[in-house]
């Protein structure tokens, strides 16, 4: 009589105490795959050539205000100010990695840039203009 009760108790206790030692690794793999998928959605379809100067700023390009354009010797630069009143100067072929924006051309009236997130045709990207 004690033997069946013992076996039933042993069976039920083993169900609750059984743990797969690899389950945690599988769960972490699923989470990391989700992160990779989310990051892949943010990548632009086209990227600029390798001759750009990559700049990693904490301020997004949308929050910058164009305040001036300077030319010293032969170098022209655009002067921006952010929300924290910091001055930022950008040159042609600067690439803002956070926003995937490349400063392409500038003159004394405007700055033209490529928003690589919005490009559909890589060979002829559309230039956006920011006027002074």
| Phi, then psi, of 77 in degrees rounded to 5 | -145, 150
pLDDT category at 32 given cuts 50, 70, 90 is: low
Instruction: Give residue 77's pLDDT band: very low, low, confident or very high (50, 70, 90).
Output: very high
What does pTM read for this prediction? 0.64
Distances (CA, A) of 71 to 44, 79, 97, 104, 131: 32, 11, 25, 16, 17
Q: Name all domains of the chain by residue range, CATH numbers in brackets.
A: 53-131 (2.30.30.830)
Q: Above 90 in pLDDT, residue 58?
A: no
38/101: higher pLDDT: 101
Q: What would the mean pLDDT of 12-40 be, rounded to a whole number?
A: 59
């Amino acid at each position: 009589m004690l033997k069946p009760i013992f076996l039933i108790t042993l069976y039920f206790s083993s169900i609750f105490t059984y743990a797969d030692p690899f389950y945690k690794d599988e769960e972490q793999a699923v989470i990391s795959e989700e992160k990779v998928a989310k990051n892949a959605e943010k990548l632009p379809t086209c990227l600029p050539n390798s001759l750009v100067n990559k700049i990693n700023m904490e301020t997004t390009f949308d929050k910058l205000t164009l305040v001036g354009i300077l030319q010293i010797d032969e170098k022209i630069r655009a002067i921006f100010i952010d929300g924290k009143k910091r001055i930022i100067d950008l040159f042609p072929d600067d690439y803002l990695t956070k926003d995937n924006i490349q400063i392409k051309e500038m003159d004394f009236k405007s700055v033209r840039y490529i928003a690589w997130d919005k490009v559909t045709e890589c060979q002829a990207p559309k230039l956006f203009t920011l006027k002074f």
